[in-house]
Amino acid sequence: MVTTQSPLLDERALSKLKWRCRRGLLENDLFIERFFARHETGLTVHQADALGDLMDLSDNDLLDLLLGRKSPEGALARADIVELLALLRQPPEHHIHL
């Protein structure tokens, strides 16, 4: 079985997505900013679509998913959403300076 990779998001679409991802809760913004800092150069159209679906949620519902207090339900109970949430939940990298 051959799978096709989703194309990478172009710069204009990335800029629009970043604007759409601005949230009212600082906690959500921190997750999203960290996600973009790590993954924006390799973000695919498919991942951007999944992120757009998450942005349709209220701030509190999104935070519950990001913190793992709830699991995706209904139309969001899809593999692409679960994979994206895993990327969004990656802990910050800690740099130890000696």
Flag whether pLDDT at 1 surpasses 60. no
Q: Does domain 11-88 have CATH number 3.20.20.150?
A: no
In this prediction the pTM is: 0.85
Of 66, 14, 12, 7, whose CA–CA distance to 40 is shortest? 14
Contacts 24+ apart (CB under 8 A), 66-70: 66/27, 66/28, 66/31
Flag whether pLDDT at 2 surpasses 50. no
The amino acid at 77:
A
Flag whether pLDDT at 86 surpasses 70. yes
Alpha carbon 58 to its chain centroid, in Å, reads: 15
What is the residue extent of each domain of the chain?
11-88
